[in-house]
Amino acid sequence: MIAEPNSSTTSETDVAATEQGTQALVATSPLSPAELYQLTLYKWRYSLEAYGFEQDEVRDLMFLKWLHASRRVEP
């Protein structure tokens, strides 16, 4: 079976229920925004190391990510 362009396997009610569930999960999160940010950075660092990057390379990539996020450098 070939899917038509712009078709989906989920219904609009499924999508709406998922969005509501995600919003409720974020609203009741036990983590503060700062903790969530730190966890995200940790996950990025761990992923880079898992892909075989050396610690110096990971440090440089994380610094570049910070520069981009702080809007000090344009892409």
The pLDDT tens digits for 3-47 are 555 555 556 665 566 666 666 655 677 888 888 888 988 999 999
Domain boundaries, the chain: 30-75
Residue 48: pLDDT over 80: yes
The answer to whether 57 touches 44, Cβ cutoff 8 Å, is: no
Residue 59: pLDDT over 70: yes
Degrees, nearest 5: CA angle 16-19-25 = 140
What is the per-residue pLDDT for 68? 82
- Would the pTM count as exceeding 0.85? no
